[in-house]
Chain A
Amino acid sequence: MTDTLHPRNPPTPPSPPAAGRPDAVPPSRPGVASRVLANPLLWPVLALVALLVVNVSATPSFLDVRIQDGHLYGNVVDIARNSAPVLLVALGMTLVIATRGIDLSVGAIAAIAGAVACTRIVGAGDEGAATTAIMACTIALAMCVLLGLWNGFLVSVIGIQPIIATLVLMVAGRGLAMLVTDGQITTVHNDAFSDLASGYVLGLPLAFLVALAMVAVTAVLTRRTALGMLIEAVGINPEASRLAGVRSRTIIWTVYVFGAVCAGLAGLIIAANTNSVNANSLGLWIELDAILAVVIGGTALTGGRFSLLGTVVGALFITTLARTIPNIGIPSEANYLFKAVVVVAVCLIQSPRARSVLRVRRPAPAALTAPKGSHA
Chain B
Amino acid sequence: MKTMYEEPPVTAPRSAGEPVVEMRDISITFGSVRALDNVSLRLLPGEVHALMGENGAGKSTLIKALTGVYSIDSGTILVGGEDHRFSTPAAAQAAGISTVYQEVNLVPNLTVAENMLLGREPRRFGGIDVRAMNRRARSTLERLGLDIDPRSTLGDHPIAVQQLVAIARAVDVEARVLILDEPTSSLDTDEVVKLFEVMRRLRDTGVAVVFVSHFLDQIYEIADRMTILRNGRLVEERMVAATTQLELVKLMIGRELEVLDRLDRQRARTHEDAVPVLQAIGLSRKGSLEATDLSLYDGEVVGVAGLLGSGRTELARLLFGADTADHGSLEIRSHRRRLRSPRHAIDRKVAFSSEDRKAEGVIGDLSVADNMLLALQASRGWLRPIPQATRNRLVAEYIEALDIRPADPQALMRNLSGGNQQKVLLARWLITEPDVLILDEPTRGIDIGAKAQIQAKVAELAERGMSVVFISAELEEVLRLSDRVVVMRDRRKIAERRNEGVSISDVLEIIAGESRAEESPHD
* Chain A: number of interface residues, binned into ranges: 35 or more
B453 CB-CB contact with A under 8 Å: yes
Contacts of A367 in B (CB 8 A): 408, 411
Contacts of A27 in B (CB 8 A): 408
User: How far, in Å, is B29 (CB) from chain A's closest CB?
Assistant: 19
Give the total of B residues in contact with A, Cβ under 8 Å. Answer: 56
Which residues of B, 363-383, contact A by the 8 Å Cβ criterion?
363-366, 370, 374-375, 377-383
Verify B449–A21 contact, CB threshold 8 A.
no
> Closest residue to B403 on the A side, CB-wise?
A2
Taking a contact as CB atoms closer than 8 A, the residue among A20, A239, A242, A246 that contacts B400 in the complex is A20
Verify A368–B360 contact, CB threshold 8 A.
no
A-B contact pairs, 6 of them (CB 8 A): A1-B401, A5-B261, A22-B396, A26-B408, A240-B354, A245-B347
Verify A18–B456 contact, CB threshold 8 A.
no
A 4-22 binary contact with B (CB < 8 Å = 1; else 0)? 0111110000011011111
Verify B378–A6 contact, CB threshold 8 A.
no
> Contacts A232-B366, A376-B403 given: A22-B395 contact, CB under 8 Å?
yes
Which residues of A, 184-219, contact B by the 8 Å Cβ criterion?
none
Verify B378–A8 contact, CB threshold 8 A.
no
Contacts of B415 in A (CB 8 A): 368-370
A131 CB-CB contact with B under 8 Å: no
A375 CB-CB contact with B under 8 Å: yes
> Contacts A233-B366, A305-B365 given: A375-B405 contact, CB under 8 Å?
yes
Contacts of A8 in B (CB 8 A): 261
Which A residues are closer than 8 A to B by beta carbons? 1-2, 5-9, 15-16, 18-23, 26-27, 224-227, 229-230, 232-233, 236-237, 239-247, 250-251, 254, 304-305, 367-370, 374-376
Bound complex: CA of A367 vs CA of B385, how far in Å?
A: 27
Which B residues are closer than 8 A to A by beta carbons? 261, 320, 322, 341-343, 346-347, 352, 354, 359-366, 370, 374-375, 377-386, 395-396, 399-401, 403, 405-409, 411-412, 415-417, 419-420, 428, 447, 449-450, 452-453, 456
Verify B382–A227 contact, CB threshold 8 A.
yes
Bound complex: CA of A250 vs CA of B343, how far in Å?
A: 13
Verify B342–A245 contact, CB threshold 8 A.
yes
Verify A226–B386 contact, CB threshold 8 A.
yes
Q: A305-B365, A370-B411 are in contact. List 8 more A-B contacts (CB 8 A).
A: A7-B261, A8-B261, A227-B382, A232-B370, A236-B365, A368-B408, A370-B415, A376-B419
Bound complex: CA of A237 vs CA of B411, how far in Å?
A: 18
Contacts of B417 in A (CB 8 A): 370, 375
Bound complex: CA of A26 vs CA of B368, how far in Å?
A: 15
> Contacts A233-B363, A237-B362, A245-B379 given: A18-B428 contact, CB under 8 Å?
no
> Contacts A225-B385, A226-B385, A370-B416 given: A245-B360 contact, CB under 8 Å?
no
Bound complex: CA of A3 vs CA of B352, how far in Å?
A: 28
User: How far, in Å, is A98 (CB) from chain B's closest CB?
Assistant: 11
> Contacts A243-B322, A247-B378 given: A18-B361 contact, CB under 8 Å?
no
User: How far, in Å, is A203 (CB) from chain B's closest CB?
Assistant: 36
> Contacts A5-B453, A240-B362, A304-B365 given: A20-B403 contact, CB under 8 Å?
yes
> Closest residue to A369 on the B side, CB-wise?
B415
Contacts of B416 in A (CB 8 A): 370
5 tightest CB-CB pairs across the interface, nearest first?
A374-B405, A22-B396, A245-B346, A370-B406, A245-B378
Verify B456–A5 contact, CB threshold 8 A.
yes
> Contacts A244-B375, A370-B406 given: A6-B452 contact, CB under 8 Å?
yes
Verify B380–A226 contact, CB threshold 8 A.
yes
User: How far, in Å, is B297 (CB) from chain A's closest CB?
Assistant: 24
Contacts of A304 in B (CB 8 A): 365
